[in-house]
Structure 1
Amino acid sequence: MNGKQFLEMLSRLPARVWLQAILALIGFVILAVLGFAVIAGVAAVVLIVLLGFKAKTWILNLFRRPPPPEPPARQDRKVIDVQYEIVDRSNDRTPRN
């Protein structure tokens, strides 16, 4: 079946079939638009909820007292050389208190 025969077959279809096809196409478009609207609506609700939580935190932080400033780091640090000895008490026979 070539393109010309296909078009001739379509032209012989009754008007009822054409009306049903047009209504199906319109219904499909409406469902697609509503589907996108639902997706966009859900995304908008999620965005509003997230922004609401952020706004709540921001407003609460406005009325809280700021934390006390940290003391400045000490500038008079001295490095001391230390010697240490490791004592192994596993072989010690004296009782512990």
Structure 2
Amino acid sequence: MSYHDAWALAGDGPGHTWTTANPSARTVIEQVVGQGAHHRRIDYVFVGSRLTHPKAQCTIDTAALAFDRPVDGTWASDHFGVVVDLDITIA
């Protein structure tokens, strides 16, 4: 595999980024999917492997959701983002 899913390696939990728990997404999800309680991950960060970048080494330190809570009652988007901390060394 040339690229790795950062969430699968360093995330905690399912990492759903598109969910009816977000009121900004609920109507569209109900229209598109046709189910009331739906959630899945549609946002990814892919990191190249050593095969892809032989002169660089990358360690995925953390992966977390972003914008997954409202601020003053307002949701930032209709889906959540993924934030990844990487440690990259170039040889």
TM-score tier, shorter chain, comes to under 0.3
- Higher strand proportion, which one? 2
Larger relative contact order (CA 8 Å, sep ≥ 6): 2
- Higher helix proportion, which one? 1
**TM, length-normalised to structure 2:** 0.19
**TM, length-normalised to structure 1:** 0.18
